[in-house]
Amino acid sequence: MDAIITDFRARSPHVQQAGLVRARRADGLRVRQQPFGAVVYVPGRDRFFALDRRHADLLRGIGTTLTGIMPPDETEAFRALAELGICVTDPPTPELPHAARAHVGDVPDVPVLTPYPLVVNCFTTAHCPLRCTYCHADDLMSGYRDDERDAGLREVIRVAAATPAMVGVVTGGEPLARPDRAERLITALAGEKAVVLDTSGVGDFPRLLPLLRRHAVHVRVSVDSADPAVNDALRPINPGYVGRWVSAHTSALDTLRRAVRAGVPCSAQTVVTTRNGDLDGLLRLRDLLVAAGVRTWVLHTVVPAGKAAMPGRAGLLTGPGTSTVLAELARRTAEDGAPIDVRVTGTHRAPHSVLLISAAGELAVEDPARRGKTVSRVPRLFARQAVLRRFRALVDARGHADRYLNGTLDVSSPVRLPTG
């Protein structure tokens, strides 16, 4: 009877006119408590947000089903959280695009996170049908392909299970080049983590669609330019894997459209170099992604690592003005009301901010001094403790937080929600 009365009140015209709401957590939301409040991960948008204590407490007070009516002084805060996809309200609150620092309420500009990783990137394979000119992971592929065996994937799964990250990214190499391995890794990760499939789109994507839907996997597709010629020059096909007629640009857009049609949440990511880093070109790419139905866009500035560190590749590296261009891109996107999130990572500023697991199951972190990776095996005994020791010793804590909380945008404003 109480539930019936609550439902009646929530839907009555008087309650609607008063602007009151009921609320529940968004599907698949991941929450980690922090000294300042909490960090949450929204799978549908592939976005992290840092919440201050007040908003973390509000979120802690609701579950996965709609609650009773929220007190009037909390209504606007819940609506603001719903605009970011963190919760769902009744009456519905539409989600809004976000192109600023991902801070909700009075969060420090540089939030001090508890020393656990937010994300771990897991190599499915060292094989790839592309030969990207700047490939960040080339040094974790070229020496691994010939000896790639099933035991390596088992080791990836073991080390990933010992890594207390909120999100596991299925990457490579190209997961679609070895779909059987991708299926096993997705299934293993999905038990404890939110899962992202990181792909070029070249390969048998339709094969994975049922599994992606079953485990609510977010698909992130790489595309570097609206101009097919520019994109495919940066991301040329490897004819040892696929025919020369295959286009990375066409494959990426086809995969994004397939994901949108299938109802699988998806985003795009772009590596910004001197060849595609002009504002007009980035705005054209933004509009192309919006037209394809993409709602989240991640941009990485190229770093002198992997192939980009090789002789003759220095011409790809951007200058200090790129940060201004990307901040202007975020500002223009918000000003234009384009329905797409913009997240800018800062690997070029904090190279050792990403945690990787190689295709052989080794932990790997960027080593800027060597322009390569620090690679180490994880013991079978006390594996979790070993992973955390290496994460805390080798990964730049501020860079890791900024990478996922959009803290590297120079010109951006934190989301400031009502405080009382």
- Burial track 83-92 (b if 16+ CB lie within 10 A, e otherwise): bbbbbbbbee
- Indicate whether 361 pLDDT > 50: yes
Domain 119-405: what homologous superfamily?
A: Aldolase class I (3.20.20.70)
**AA letter at 267:** S
> What is the H or E stretch that residue 30 is in?
strand 30-34
pLDDT tens sequence across 393-414? 999 888 899 899 987 664 343 3
CA distance 188 to 158: 9
- Both tokens of residue 187? 């299934």
**AA letter at 123:** F
Residue 293 region, left (φ>0) first, then alpha (ψ -120 to 50), else beta?
Answer: left
Q: Compute the average pLDDT of residues 71-89.
A: 95
pLDDT tens sequence across 140-158? 888 888 889 999 999 999 9
Confidence category of residue 367, pLDDT binned at 50, 70, 90:
confident
Q: Compute the average pLDDT of residues 357-382.
A: 89
- The pLDDT of residue 140: 85
- The pLDDT of residue 282: 98
Q: Compute the average pLDDT of residues 77-104.
A: 95
Q: Compute the average pLDDT of residues 248-257.
A: 98
- The pLDDT of residue 417: 32
pLDDT tens sequence across 303-349? 887 788 788 887 999 988 999 999 999 999 999 999 999 999 977 67
- Indicate whether 353 pLDDT > 50: yes
Q: Which residues contact 11 (CB under 8 A, 6 or more apart)?
A: none
8 Å CB contact between 199 and 175: yes
pLDDT tens sequence across 13-37? 433 444 689 999 999 999 999 999 9
Paired sense of beta strands 218-222 and 266-272, if any: parallel
CA distance 146 to 195: 27
Q: Compute the average pLDDT of residues 200-224.
A: 97
Q: Compute the average pLDDT of residues 361-379.
A: 87
- Indicate whether 179 pLDDT > 70: yes
- Indicate whether 257 pLDDT > 60: yes
How much of the chain, in percent, has pLDDT values that exceed 70?
Answer: 91
- Both tokens of residue 24? 């529940």
Domain range summary for the chain, segments of one domain joined by +: 2-104, 119-405
10 Å CB burial of residue 283 (0-12, 13-18, 19+) is middle
Q: Which residues contact 245 (CB under 8 A, 6 or more apart)?
A: none
- Both tokens of residue 307? 């192939």
Residue the block writes with tokens 């800062």: 346
Q: Quick check: bond before 175 cis, omega within 30?
A: no
- The pLDDT of residue 19: 67
Paired sense of beta strands 47-52 and 87-90, if any: unpaired
- Indicate whether 5 pLDDT > 90: no
Average pLDDT over the chain, rounded to whole? 89
